[in-house]
Structure 1
Amino acid sequence: MPHEQQPQSPDVLDADAVRTWSSLALAALGRAREDIDAINVYPVADADTGTNLYLTAESADRGLADAFPEVTDGTAATSLAEAVRAWAHGALVGARGNSGTILAQLLRGVADVLGDEPAPPAGHGPGGLLARALTRAAEEAYAAVAHPVEGTMLTVADAAARAGEAAGAAAGTAVEVARAAYDGARAALAETPGQLAALGRAGVVDAGGCGLVVVFGALWQALSGQEPAAEPVRGRAVPVPRPPDPCAQEEDGPAYEVIYLLEATEAAVGELRERLDALGDSLVVVGGDGLWNVHVHVDDPGAAVEAGVVAGRPYRIRITHFGDERRRARGERAQRAVVAVVPGEGLAGLCGEAGATTVLVRPGEPPAVAELLDAVRRAHAREVVLLPGGAELRAAAASAAEQARAEGVRVAVIPTRSAVQGLAALAVHDPEGSFDEDVVAMTAAAGATRYGELAVAERQSFTSAGICQAGDVLGLIDGDVAVIGADLAETAEAVLDRMLGSGGELVTLVLGPEVPDTVAERLEAYVQQGHLAVDTVTYRGGRYSAPLLVGVE
């Protein structure tokens, strides 16, 4: 929970001020998120800028809290540098959308100054230090955007920095610098409709800039203890006479938003920027020190992800189709949607083609409740069927479902224990039928699907099939080790024999990225020779998937 604000000296800039700024910004963005969503028309009118800023601020606040779990009353001795770096890192790993990614870079710019200089140099007060931090933040945000556009939150950040710098040069206190930055941001926000045609046509100010004004207001409140007046902050920030269909002007833009975290060198990221810039628009790459957050709008999401693979190691990949977002922006809510947790990029694409909203997971990194809840929200439907894809995710899925129900969404969790059970459930999904009948049919299809998996043992251990050694191929059936072998194909044949021993009509094979097509051909022929009435379908699981998944229906 956010800690209560402690009184601040007008010229004190410390870790507690950062924690207070964070909690106040999160609360203020929470109050303003719907209004900000309502005026979101640029770069894509998808009505999610306020939500993206809020979720980014939430991740930043969580990063700050996780770094100092012992802090409950604001009295623990924590350095300014540690606090601001933790805050910026939390924003980086949880940045959402174009606006959230830019906000993360702004916080990184603040951290680059305050984190390097925990105490002001001789002859310089905290006001000057804060002014330099805001200037660095604006500079780094502009540098992170491939093609900066005026009339956006970049313009607001720059105006705030210039106003803060002027106050700092006049030997102002930290509070005076914060107030000047806040006032500068508000003035710049009011001018954005005249700087950007899309805003002028819609009769609104920039949504991202509106959120940034909220953040600067929280900074001033954190240092002064005075709450910003409602009218100056929100008066021109929420003018909402909108065109009948503000999304129509964006229909010719790229179809997908792609976001992922990337572990890569700075040199590799430079090359990545060039590749992604040629693929789409709204390119923002933020971060540093080996960890980056990549955001781009493209028509070919696979190519954007592949570019990340070439540059380094992308993960937490999130792909959003703007058609769904535009419908949401128009207030249209689908009757029913499916959310599927999948362990592989190929499976994510496969489920996405079937109409599901997907949550991609990497081995050993199960999604948190917040990530599942976000996927339910992104599905934007009155009814949602959630396929967790693993027994270990049932508790998180149940918690996400409970929270979604509190928001008015009817959610059913089908206890799928493997991705192949999720595929079976999706195959019988009927969005036109009644919710209860659909859930029953999908549950029955999942329950009637036996699931197997082939994995490679990492160490010697005892299993239900005997002792295995590191490097052995393990054949699991319904979660238990049933076969231990030395060869993937031979072990898979043994697993298929056991699974088909009790009958079956369809075998589903999902191959991992390192498994050659010859293995699939061998297994398909093996099934056909021994079970003439059984059909076989084969898919590629893609990166992060197991070597082989098997389903028998």
Structure 2
Amino acid sequence: MDSNTTAADIFWGMFRSAVIFFRRHVDAINSLNVFPVPDGDTGTNMYGTLEGIQSRVMSVEYTDLQELTDLISRAALYEGRGNSGIILSQIFRGLSDYISLQTSEINFGIIYGAIENAKVKAFDSVAEPIEGTMLTVLSDVVNKANSLKEKNLSVRSLFKSLAEEAERSVDRTPELLPLLKESGVVDSGGYGIEVILKGMLLYLDDMPPDTFPIVLRKPAGDGSGVGNLIADHFESEDEFGYCTQFILDTDRDSKTVEANFEGLGTSVVIIGELPTYRIHLHAEDPGAILTKAVELGIVGSVSVENMEIQSKETLRTLEKSNQVSKIDLKGKTALISIVNGSGILEISRNLGVDLVIEGGIDMNPSVADIVSAVDQIESDSILLLTNDKNVIPAANQAAALVASDVVVLPTETQVEGLECIVDFDPYQSALKNKEIMAELIPQIKTITIFRSSRAVRINGSKIKHMQPIAMINGNMYSYSDNLDDLLVEVVRNEFNKNPEHIMVLLGNGLHNSDVARIEKLLNNNVLDLDEDIIEIHLGEQPHFDYMISVLAN
């Protein structure tokens, strides 16, 4: 971390890292959601809260830690979503409110005071706190910090201890809340707290939250316990009712507001202070709640969701996931490729890839994602192409966990993987295929063309913000004032070196109609361009307008 980094930069960096890391866990957290209602949206609501806070803060300038934390506190009031999301927003309000009153630095004492204040605010917002939930995990984290007060730890060491304690606390939740144990899950909201702390720690460790290898928590028994819980509910006469939430502007104090909604629903969470409150309840009749709210003041940002419908959708998703049929490739080697771009996905399948694992912006597959894909295939062996250097650790870890014979080919780019796929032979072992392709990889160059996201100096050249640049292996290849001119320059240079093959993939918002335009552009500007040597496809990859592979003769 840069020594000139301010306290505001550190706190905001930790928050943004947590948002990115959390996004990769949303589906897993949703799959664990059984309390208070198995509506499968805890991860979605917590991520929506985090992303909403981030969006509000990014739209406003701040100059120091106090201004930043004031912005976060205010944004959290308006962005809390669902039971877990509103509790989470109160946690961040507690953190921010405490830090905003301190000096312009972040140290052990300030972090401890902030999380203790977050705990107080979170518990105060919930009408009936329950053991074995995210509140329990938060409480355990505060107790852990309290036990370390005499240790003189750095902020990084403190967060490492807190993240580890959160993980242990989540492990304990089924013993505290019988419904979790019966359903074969840990508490989903508590897991969310664990993920947030780990995401913050990644920033302090200077590790990438979008690609750091992860192992996701999943329900036991393929979710059968969750499915049975929901199925039993639908055989009863009980109703989950409606998740009802809104903003209330009123001249009433918090105790009066709380008293007015007492007895109108369950899972009551009320945050804020005079004159603005965010209110959440579960109730069979949301109309009565909203009528009462209108009597008290001005109501806005109303959300009413039918939890019966949400629970049915959760059950359908579980049933569908448990019905996935195996891909029968017995007697052959299967080919799995990790791709990033729907056009690349289609090309991969046309070239003979048996199973595609989709990546995406900040969404490289986890170890669990890769293991799940491998488990869908019955074959003599499996060759797995990573197509991104950041995916290689997760792929190697997944290969070590499964019983199948999985061989990882550590391709580092999407086009490198596509060039290798052409030589794949399903009747050779995965190891033999890897040996053949490994000899090919050094002959493949990957060149990317895109607009610079900021003004920067590279190899002595001054690059302007949004100026088109071409990169090869982390080094600048060339730059220009026009994307297409730069593409022509790169293809002309490489074609003059007599390659065996050149492939150009169009992405970053370019469309199928652009393929013909680029074909014409290159034919008109690259002398004697051989159409048997060059291929142009719509890759639809993010970030890069053009991704080019050059296979040497």
Task: Tell me the TM-score normalized by structure 1.
Answer: 0.53
**What is the Cα deviation at residue 8 of structure 1?**
5.8
Query: Contact 1:98–1:295 at 8 Å: present in 2 too?
Result: yes
Instruction: Report the 3-state secondary structure (helix = DSSP H, G, I; strand = E; otherwise coil) of the residue aligned with 1:151.
Output: coil
Instruction: Report the 3-state secondary structure (helix = DSSP H, G, I; strand = E; otherwise coil) of the residue aligned with 1:149.
Output: coil
Question: 1:42 aligns to what?
Answer: 35
Question: 2:285 aligns to what?
Answer: 300
| Residues 401-480 of structure 1 mapped to structure 2, 5 A cutoff | none
Which has the higher mean CA deviation after the structures are superposed, 273-282 or 47-56? 273-282
Letter in 1 for 2:292: A
Whether 1:214 aligns to 2:200 is no
Question: 1:493 aligns to what?
Answer: none
| Residues 4-83 of structure 1 mapped to structure 2, 5 A cutoff | 7=1, 14-68=7-61, 78-83=63-68
TM-aligned CA distance change 1:107 to 1:281, over 3 Å: same
Query: Contact 1:92–1:287 at 8 Å: present in 2 too?
Result: yes
- Structure 2 Cα separation of the partners of residues 83 and 169 of structure 1: 29
Whether 1:321 aligns to 2:306 is yes
Instruction: Report the 3-state secondary structure (helix = DSSP H, G, I; strand = E; otherwise coil) of the residue aligned with 1:44.
Output: coil
TM-aligned CA distance change 1:230 to 1:27, over 3 Å: closer
Question: 1:523 aligns to what?
Answer: none
Whether 1:263 aligns to 2:288 is no
Letter in 1 for 2:125: A
| Residues 115-130 of structure 1 mapped to structure 2, 5 A cutoff | 115-119=100-104, 126-130=107-111
Query: Contact 2:18–2:209 at 8 Å: present in 1 too?
Result: no
| Residues 50-199 of structure 1 mapped to structure 2, 5 A cutoff | 50-68=43-61, 78-119=63-104, 126-199=107-180
- Structure 1 Cα separation of the partners of residues 113 and 5 of structure 2: 16
TM-aligned CA distance change 1:276 to 1:164, over 3 Å: same
Question: 2:339 aligns to what?
Answer: none
- Structure 1 Cα separation of the partners of residues 12 and 71 of structure 2: 10
Query: Contact 1:213–1:233 at 8 Å: present in 2 too?
Result: no
Instruction: Report the 3-state secondary structure (helix = DSSP H, G, I; strand = E; otherwise coil) of the residue aligned with 1:271.
Output: helix
> Sequence identity, in percent?
27
Instruction: Report the 3-state secondary structure (helix = DSSP H, G, I; strand = E; otherwise coil) of the residue aligned with 1:118.
Output: coil
Instruction: Report the 3-state secondary structure (helix = DSSP H, G, I; strand = E; otherwise coil) of the residue aligned with 2:316.
Output: coil
TM-aligned CA distance change 1:309 to 1:28, over 3 Å: same
Count of residues in Structure 1 that have an aligned counterpart in Structure 2:
313
Query: Contact 1:84–1:115 at 8 Å: present in 2 too?
Result: yes
CA RMSD of aligned residues (A): 2.7
| Residues 238-317 of structure 1 mapped to structure 2, 5 A cutoff | 239=220, 240-243=222-225, 244-248=227-231, 252-265=238-251, 267=253, 269-317=254-302
- Structure 2 Cα separation of the partners of residues 237 and 17 of structure 1: 32
**What is the Cα deviation at residue 236 of structure 1?**
4.9
Query: Contact 1:134–1:161 at 8 Å: present in 2 too?
Result: yes
Query: Contact 1:153–1:206 at 8 Å: present in 2 too?
Result: yes
Query: Contact 1:36–1:50 at 8 Å: present in 2 too?
Result: yes
Query: Contact 2:26–2:44 at 8 Å: present in 1 too?
Result: yes
TM-aligned CA distance change 1:118 to 1:248, over 3 Å: farther
For structure 2, the residue ranges without an aligned partner over 5 or more in a row are 319-553
**What is the Cα deviation at residue 99 of structure 1?**
0.6
- Structure 2 Cα separation of the partners of residues 277 and 253 of structure 1: 19
TM-aligned CA distance change 1:27 to 1:228, over 3 Å: closer
For structure 1, the residue ranges without an aligned partner over 5 or more in a row are 1-6, 69-76, 334-553
**What is the Cα deviation at residue 273 of structure 1?**
1.7
Alpha-carbon displacement from aligned partner over 1:3-31 (angstroms, at most 9, x marks no partner): xxxx266x987111222122211111211
Alpha-carbon displacement from aligned partner over 1:37-71 (angstroms, at most 9, x marks no partner): 11111110001111111111110111220122xxx
Letter in 1 for 2:12: R
TM-aligned CA distance change 1:246 to 1:105, over 3 Å: same
Query: Contact 1:127–1:175 at 8 Å: present in 2 too?
Result: no
Instruction: Report the 3-state secondary structure (helix = DSSP H, G, I; strand = E; otherwise coil) of the residue aligned with 1:331.
Output: helix
Question: 1:200 aligns to what?
Answer: 181
- Structure 1 Cα separation of the partners of residues 121 and 266 of structure 2: 19
TM-aligned CA distance change 1:32 to 1:332, over 3 Å: closer
Alpha-carbon displacement from aligned partner over 1:180-227 (angstroms, at most 9, x marks no partner): 221111110000011111100011000111111111112222233246
- Structure 1 Cα separation of the partners of residues 213 and 132 of structure 2: 19
